[in-house]
């Protein structure tokens, strides 16, 4: 009986390994990622299969139907080649007539959010990856409770993994007051409700469907505090008022329908948002994730970097690029493009710091300028390629570019591009340049981490 059971187990594992291998080959992956998973499954199937089922799935079309965006009610900006590129890859068109404020200061970012909440009369829609159990997290929930008690509809989407440590009592008070709360990809769920490896990393706050705040900030003392209870991180928020709020509202409605298992509507808000007087910001909203058939942000940035003529400046907390993005940066630097990569000296993820080493050292050898910011954790995710700039939730790593639900705001007008350029230059002034020397053992270890990056 034991021999029969063993034989049966071998057959089952073999069939499952073959099915997993077919899934790897059918999914759209980088060659590096596909080879890494196939070797893992072939060499140690008993270990690889459960890990693949938990971490190896990329797109889940049956669960996350493609985003549907409200038809344009006004003109689109199609004279810009970069804007047309992202639109061809599946993003909404770039929209003119937006008032944009790029907010780096944490206190100013909190004031912008609080003023939006206080001014809302109909609804507040909030979506964050993390909601920390600290003073800023409590202040945020008390604000939502107060607005709900004033008659404003409040909807809140949290990622179950990112927001696992949250102010539970205040969250229950919000629910008791009539606030509506949903979780992305809960830990314990049926396969139809999401996947543990596909996290919702988007950050979005919308007031009355007419003004939005997005960017890299979650809710916590490191993002909105005063520096007394926790070290402040360098981060960015982007406040948008105007037509570009409509695709942001579309994204929230789509994610809300997923977490609440609601029927998807073809057009979530047909009424246009007028342009504020004198607003000239040209803004393009670029989502990425399992609800987008293509890897819009990844592919768009790859092409933009390949076509760059003057500069490619990146700021990211975690730098573990895909093979395509790494090659694009390398070739840009070799063509004489000014390539700068700004990272924190030490991030809050030591393993990721270790994994980035081989990538950064190679790119430094190719002519890229590596900037290490020693004064604080840099959590901002932003960049400039020639006359285009962006800020958002996506790190320059494999997970953000190919797995998570992400959101970026692209700027195609000179005023906002210059604002982001000034922010980058101010941060660069406090940076150390180049990679610190290291021994042969560390270099070898960094190389091993690089090989495992697609699986990690």
Lowest mean pLDDT among 41-55, 271-285, 386-400, 417-431: 41-55
For residues 207 and 189, the model is more confident at 207
d(CA 302, CA 307): 9
pLDDT band of 270, cuts 50, 70, 90: very low
- Closest by CA to 322, choosing from 405, 401, 227, is 401
d(CA 172, CA 24): 41
Question: Which pLDDT score, from 0 to 100, does residue 2 have?
Answer: 62
Q: Which whole number is the average pLDDT over 300-309?
A: 97
Cα angle 243, 74, 383 (rounded to 5 degrees) comes to 45
Determine the CATH number of domain 296-455.
Answer: 3.30.870.10
For residues 16 and 408, the model is more confident at 408
Question: Which pLDDT score, from 0 to 100, does residue 417 have?
Answer: 98
d(CA 455, CA 51): 9
**Tens-place pLDDT, residues 178-196:** 999 999 875 555 555 555 6
Contact 223, 106 (CB under 8 A): yes
d(CA 394, CA 206): 19
Question: Which pLDDT score, from 0 to 100, does residue 218 have?
Answer: 98
The mean pLDDT of the chain is: 87
Q: Which residues of 285-300 are buried (b: 16+ CB within 10 A; e: fewer)?
A: bbbbbbbbebbbbbbb
Q: What is the 3-state secondary structure (H, E, C) of 108-150?
A: HHHHHHHHHHHHCCCEEEEEECCECCCHHHHHHHHHHHHHHHC
Q: Is 456 a residue whose pLDDT tops 70? A: no
The CATH class, in words, for 95-282 is alpha beta
Q: Is 197 a residue whose pLDDT tops 90? A: no
Question: Which pLDDT score, from 0 to 100, does residue 228 have?
Answer: 85
* CB neighbour class for 421 (10 Å; exposed up to 12, middle 13-18, buried from 19): middle
Determine how β-strand 381-385 pairs with β-strand 311-315: antiparallel
> What is the DSSP-derived secondary structure letter of residue 162?
T
Could you check whether 95-282 and 296-455 share the same CATH topology? yes
**Tens-place pLDDT, residues 43-62:** 767 676 666 665 556 655 55
Contact 393, 406 (CB under 8 A): yes
The domains of the chain are located at 10-56, 95-282, 296-455
Q: Is 174 a residue whose pLDDT tops 90? A: yes
Question: Which pLDDT score, from 0 to 100, does residue 63 have?
Answer: 59
- Paired with 241 in beta bridges are 99, 211
Contact 279, 240 (CB under 8 A): no
d(CA 440, CA 444): 6
d(CA 236, CA 12): 50
pLDDT band of 213, cuts 50, 70, 90: very high
pLDDT > 70: what percent of the chain? 82
**Tens-place pLDDT, residues 68-90:** 888 877 778 777 888 999 999 99
**Tens-place pLDDT, residues 101-156:** 999 999 999 999 999 999 999 999 999 999 999 999 999 999 999 999 999 999 99
**Tens-place pLDDT, residues 313-365:** 999 999 999 989 999 999 999 999 999 999 999 999 888 888 898 999 999 99
Lowest mean pLDDT among 227-236, 264-273, 292-301, 330-339: 264-273
DSSP string for 295-335: -HHHHHHHHHHHH-SSEEEEE-S-EE--HHHHHHHHHHHHT
């Amino acid at each position: 009986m034991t021999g029969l059971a063993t034989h049966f187990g071998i057959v089952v594992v073999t069939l499952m390994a073959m099915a997993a291998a077919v899934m790897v080959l059918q999914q759209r992956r980088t060659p590096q990622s596909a080879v890494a998973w196939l070797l893992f499954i072939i060499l140690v199937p008993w270990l690889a299969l459960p890990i693949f089922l938990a971490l190896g799935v990329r797109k889940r079309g049956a669960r996350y139907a493609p985003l549907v965006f409200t038809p344009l009610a006004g003109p689109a900006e199609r004279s810009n080649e970069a804007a047309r590129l992202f639109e061809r890859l599946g993003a909404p068109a770039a929209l003119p007539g937006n008032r944009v404020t790029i907010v780096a200061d944490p206190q100013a970012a909190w004031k912008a959010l609080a003023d939006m909440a206080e001014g809302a009369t109909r609804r507040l829609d909030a979506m964050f990856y993390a909601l920390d159990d600290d003073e800023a997290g409590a202040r945020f929930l008390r604000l939502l409770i107060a607005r709900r008690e004033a008659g404003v509809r409040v909807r809140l989407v949290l990622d179950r993994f990112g927001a696992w440590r949250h102010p539970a009592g205040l969250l229950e008070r919000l629910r008791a007051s009539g606030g509506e709360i949903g979780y992305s990809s809960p830990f314990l769920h049926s396969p139809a409700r999401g996947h543990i490896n596909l996290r919702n990393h988007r950050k979005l706050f919308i007031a009355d469907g007419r003004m939005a705040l997005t960017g890299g900030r979650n809710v916590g003392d490191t993002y909105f505090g005063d520096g007394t209870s926790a070290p402040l991180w360098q981060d960015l928020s982007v406040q948008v008022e105007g037509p570009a709020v409509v695709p942001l509202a579309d994204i929230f409605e789509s994610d809300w329908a997923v977490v609440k298992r609601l029927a998807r509507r073809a057009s979530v808000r047909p009424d246009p948002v007028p342009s504020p007087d004198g607003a000239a910001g040209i803004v393009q909203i670029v989502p990425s994730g399992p609800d987008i058939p293509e890897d819009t942000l990844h592919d768009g940035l790859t092409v933009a970097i390949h076509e760059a003529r003057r500069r490619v400046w990146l700021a990211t907390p975690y730098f573990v690029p895909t093979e395509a993005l790494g090659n694009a940066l390398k070739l840009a630097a070799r063509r004489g493009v000014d390539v700068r990569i700004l990272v924190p000296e030490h991030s809050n993820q030591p393993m990721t710091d270790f994994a980035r080493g081989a990538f950064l050292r190679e790119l430094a050898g190719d002519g890229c300028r590596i900037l290490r910011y020693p004064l604080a954790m840099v959590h901002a995710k932003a960049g400039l390629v020639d006359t285009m700039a962006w800020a958002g939730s996506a790190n320059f790593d494999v997970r953000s570019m190919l797995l998570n639900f992400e959101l970026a705001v692209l700027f195609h007008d000179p005023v906002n591009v210059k604002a982001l350029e000034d922010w980058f230059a101010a941060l660069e002034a406090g940076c150390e340049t180049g990679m610190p020397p290291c021994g042969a053992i560390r270099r070898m270890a960094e190389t091993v981490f690089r090989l495992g990056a697609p699986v990690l």
